[in-house]
Amino acid sequence: MARTFFVGGNFKLNGDKKSIKEIVERLNTANLAENVEVVICPPAAYIDYTVQLVNKPQVTVGGQNTYLKASGAFTGENSVDQIKDLGAKWVILGHSERRTYFHEDDKIVADKTKFALDNGVGVILCIGETLEEKKAGITLEVVERQLNAVIAEVKDWTNVVIAYEPVWAIGTGLAATAEDAQDIHASIRKFLVSKIGEKAAEEIRILYGGSANGGNCSTFKDKKDIDGFLVGGASLKPEFVDIVNSRM
């Protein structure tokens, strides 16, 4: 079954009007592959601005985080309803930086995921192990635990994309080899088959999210269970277009 190639761009806490306009204009004017779905996720303050700039049909905009409530006395949080109102179609949840810096545990990520899906946005669900967990040989145990929390809350996975992000590779310049990433992705899909059924598991897209860049993205091209990338720093650079087109 052919899964549509998916590339997410996580700008993190970076950018201003000038730089975001440059990023979007590169996408707008590039000859992008038709069989790819691109979601760019600027800081929340620039979601509306970014939506207004995008004019490519396969490019949409997402948020980097949302809360468990649509509104209320939750200072500083992002509402699903509000990012939808601005034109966002997706949200990144469970990113390692949210888990580490803001102490979001598996249960919080699962609850956020359910709330976002129930309220009409797709979820890029991040999972992955730290360097210590990798060295301890418990990578699969970690990602299965993270997934089990979401499986307990979410029954329909149609609008979920999973991003496997080895935490040890984020922002370090290190990356899993394409072969290693394929092995992990295949194991994740096998686990999902046992939990949510073969059809849903075969349809779900599993992205690689560990320092993917214009230099290494082509090495992942023919890997059966790698359905795209969640890109961090490289999404701010011209090479992002190369990543989007890496399967052309």
103 tagged catalytic: no
Q: Which of 95, 97, 129, 144 is catalytic?
A: 95
95 tagged catalytic: yes
CA dihedral sign of residues 137, 143, 144, 149: positive
Q: Which of 37, 97, 129, 165 is catalytic?
A: 165
The answer to whether 172 touches 130, Cβ cutoff 8 Å, is: no
CB count, 10 Å around CB of 69?
A: 13
- For residue 23, the SS3 value is helix
Three-state secondary structure of 165-201? CCHHHCCCCCCCCHHHHHHHHHHHHHHHHHHHCHHHH
In the structure encoding, which two tokens stand for residue 201, read together?
């598991």
Helix count (H) and strand count (E) of the chain? 10, 8
CA pair distance 27, 7, nearest whole angstrom: 12
CA dihedral sign of residues 126, 131, 134, 138: negative
Residue 66, C-beta contacts closer than 8 angstroms, at least 6 positions apart: 77, 78, 79, 80, 83, 91, 93, 112, 115, 116, 121
Catalytic residue positions, numbered: 95, 165
